[in-house]
Amino acid sequence: MLVIIIKFYMPKDFFDDSQKISRELSSSETEKKKINPKDIFNQFLLNKRIFKNKEALSSSFVPTEILHRDAEIEVISNILAPSLLLERISNLLIYGFSGTGKSLVTRYVAQNLASLALDKNVNVMPIYINCRLENNDTEYRLISNLCTVFGVKVPVSGLSVNQLYKRLVSNVDIEDKYLILILDEIEKLIQNAGDGVLYSLLRLNESMKHAKISIIGISNNTDLKASLDQRVKSSLSPVELVFKPYNAIEIENILQTRTKDSFYTDALDESVIKKCAALAAQEHGDVRKALNLLRVAGETTQQSGRVKVLEEDLDKATDILEQNITEEMIKSMTKQGKSILYSIIVTARSKRMGKVYSGEVYDAYIKISDKYGLKRLTFRRISDLIADMDYNSLIMSRVKSNGRYGRTRELNIAFSPALLMKVEEILRNDLKSG
Ligand SMILES: Nc1ncnc2c1ncn2[C@@H]1O[C@H](COP(=O)(O)OP(=O)(O)OP(=O)(O)O)[C@@H](O)[C@H]1O
Ligand SMILES: [Mg+2]
């Protein structure tokens, strides 16, 4: 263990540095002064600090400033405002690509609403739930988690979902109250539990005398509403808000503010932020990715014992992140997922890496699934899996409502050529290995 720690913190030029220090010492009058390792370590810490606060680059960190989202903050605030008079508000569906600030902005507005409601002594409760986490994509778990918010103890299993709803209502509907349920990554809930859960939640309004409930759903699947059952759609009747991708200049401004909290002033070359912003702008304005890139670039610099993050560190970070994330993700995919991704790649290759359409991928998938003895999935299921790949940035897709296949998805491969070769190899081997 000790060896690992020493190795990790030991920069390549460690011996060079220590030799330099000892040479300086021996040539000075303090020739007889003993070398104290702590002095060397302290010097190292002084020299090599790059991060002021690395946490400030993580997704859970709440930034001091939210730039370029005033219009969205205004729309959401206007929709939520009547809840302060306990007047009914619209349900809301928020869409947008990954890393465009949907979760951040929604939580920010909700926090402001909650704190104002507290000041004014109004019973408005925004409740934030991420459907991807803590099994919140099952109806049982989601409703039991809501019950716990109101102090109702619920067994992990054993009750019927109806009993859970009853317990929830009897603990919520005791006074005038407005629950604003923020369901982040709502597509996970719908995929796993079906959309009936939204209907059941909104139907509670009919059985409650005092309390009201509205839903804010957040998703990066712009197709979400179309996929809902008619009955659910009409009870939800949502206002829809799309978060447009940030452009390179906007990302640059955002990174400037985020790096003030996270990096020491001189540790980051201005050109690095510019380049990182340009890269993220190509990735449909994904600020999360940009922040991750800066973090890994900083770590790369630190490990090499230098004090300033340069563009080359960013290039290295791009490779590291792209490769790590992709390989991990692909290895954890099901065989069906792998065969679909392989079908996308094969189709794109046959079109010299041009755009491909979901219908063409389906044709290729039929052949590939037969070749590897897989049960054929329906076109609908394949579309869901493709949406998941988009969500995980393995591909980029956009729904188009014309073309040979009617409503179809236009797909683009998101890998660099070198990574693409590696991905193809992993997929081929995994599919072959049965
Ligand atoms: N305008 C902004 N100012 C400062 N930081 C931002 C801004 N927009 C996004 N971020 C940061 O970028 C990261 C991603 O934002 P967020 O999690 O809100 O994206 P998202 O749209 O919810 O993405 P996903 O669909 O993947 O959940 C977070 O660290 C967030 O703090
Ligand atoms: Mg989010």
The whole-number pLDDT of residue 25 equals: 44
Whether ligand 1 lies within 6 angstroms of the CB of 262 is answered as: no
Whether ligand 1 lies within 6 angstroms of the CB of 291 is answered as: yes
The whole-number pLDDT of residue 109 equals: 97
pLDDT averaged per 10 residues in sequence order, the chain, 434 residues = 32 36 44 77 71 90 92 98 97 94 97 97 97 89 93 87 94 96 95 93 95 96 88 95 95 95 90 95 89 93 87 92 81 90 93 86 94 91 86 79 66 82 90 81
The whole-number pLDDT of residue 409 equals: 82
The whole-number pLDDT of residue 16 equals: 36
Whether ligand 1 lies within 6 angstroms of the CB of 101 is answered as: yes
The whole-number pLDDT of residue 346 equals: 93
Looking at the CA of 184, name the nearest ligand.
2
The whole-number pLDDT of residue 269 equals: 84
Break the chain down into helix, strand, coil percent, rounded to 5: 60, 10, 30
- All domains in the chain, ordered by first residue: 2-48 (no CATH), 54-61+246-329 (1.10.8.60), 70-243 (3.40.50.300), 333-432 (1.10.10.10)
Query: Can you count the helices (H) and strands (E) in the chain?
Result: 18, 8
Q: Which of 106, 288, 390, 396 to mutate to test the pocket of ligand 1 (most atoms within 8 A of CB)?
A: 288
E strand or H helix at 214: strand 211-219
End-to-end CA separation in angstroms for the chain: 38
Q: Which residue's alpha carbon is at the smallest distance from atom 2 of ligand 1?
A: 66
User: CA dist 240 to 215, 218, 427, Å?
Assistant: 12, 10, 38
> What are 186-223's pLDDT values in tens digits?
999 998 899 999 999 999 999 999 999 999 999 988 88
The whole-number pLDDT of residue 6 equals: 31
Looking at the CA of 96, name the nearest ligand.
1
E strand or H helix at 187: helix 186-193
Distance from C-alpha of 386 to C-alpha of 416, rounded to nearest angstrom = 19
Distance from C-alpha of 341 to C-alpha of 348, rounded to nearest angstrom = 11
* Residue 149 CB-half CA count within 13 A: 17
Q: Give the chain's length.
A: 434
Q: Pick from 235, 254, 256, 181: which is nearest to 212 by CA?
A: 181
The whole-number pLDDT of residue 47 equals: 58
Q: Atom of ligand 1 at shortest distance to CA of 62?
A: 31
DSSP 381-434: HHHHHHHHHHHTTSEEEEEES-STTSSEEEEEE-S-HHHHHHHHHHHHHHHHT-
Whether ligand 1 lies within 6 angstroms of the CB of 131 is answered as: no
Q: What's the 256 CA to ligand 1 centre distance in angstroms? A: 15
Q: What's the 154 CA to ligand 1 centre distance in angstroms? A: 33
Q: Atom of ligand 1 at shortest distance to CA of 67?
A: 1
The whole-number pLDDT of residue 48 equals: 62
Distance from C-alpha of 146 to C-alpha of 167, rounded to nearest angstrom = 10
